[in-house]
Amino acid sequence: MKNDLFREISHTADLAYEIVAKDLTELLNAIVRIIIENSDFSEGYNGNASKSLSHLFKECSKKDNKDLQNVIKKCYNISDANKEGFIDDLFDAVNDIISTVDRGYLPVKVENQCVYFTKRRVALRIKALTYHGLQVEFGEKITLRVVFDV
């Protein structure tokens, strides 16, 4: 039966990146910057993700700042013992970070395998990290290819 009200059209709904990092902290920092660069928000952000993240964390860390109570820390256990385990752990961690941003927390700092968030309203273009195209290569540096659903 023919339907004149709608028809399927092809479109691309993904963002793909290649990340080269010296360690897991640098890798998570890059992922956080990708999330920030694909977000829309007005307060505390001037178009430069690195400076803004640093500025926001400093502001939120001041002892007299009321926002300090709104800073949360989430740590992830990402094992690099084997590729499959690493990919699964990273997949879960990145999607948890995206979910946390969706709930109104902006990532402001990465230390080791921990991400600090502060309460900020953010409109995120990225929906999720996908397994499609997710590849990792270990060497002197970690090379990661990721595809995000938008």
Q: How far apart are the C-alpha atoms of 96 and 87, rounded to whole Å? A: 14
List, for residues 20-35, the tens digit of each pLDDT value: 999 999 999 999 999 9
List, for residues 59-84, the tens digit of each pLDDT value: 655 555 555 567 899 999 998 888 99
Predicted confidence at residue 10, as pLDDT, reads 62
Predicted confidence at residue 67, as pLDDT, reads 52
- Residue 114 contacts residue 92 (beta carbons within 8 Å): no
Q: How far apart are the C-alpha atoms of 42 and 39, rounded to whole Å? A: 10
Low-confidence ranges of the chain (pLDDT < 70): 1-11, 41-69
Q: Could you give the percent of the chain with pLDDT greater than 90?
A: 59
Residue 51 CB contacts under 8 Å (≥ 6 apart), including other chains:
none
From residue 142, alpha-carbon distances to 19, 21, 72, 80, 112 in Å are: 8, 5, 27, 10, 15
Predicted confidence at residue 70, as pLDDT, reads 76
Predicted confidence at residue 62, as pLDDT, reads 56
* Structure-block tokens of residue 46: 């001037």
* pTM flag (> 0.85): no
Predicted confidence at residue 68, as pLDDT, reads 55
Predicted confidence at residue 120, as pLDDT, reads 87
Angle (deg, nearest 10), helices 83-102 and 24-37: 40
Q: How far apart are the C-alpha atoms of 41 and 74, rounded to whole Å? A: 22
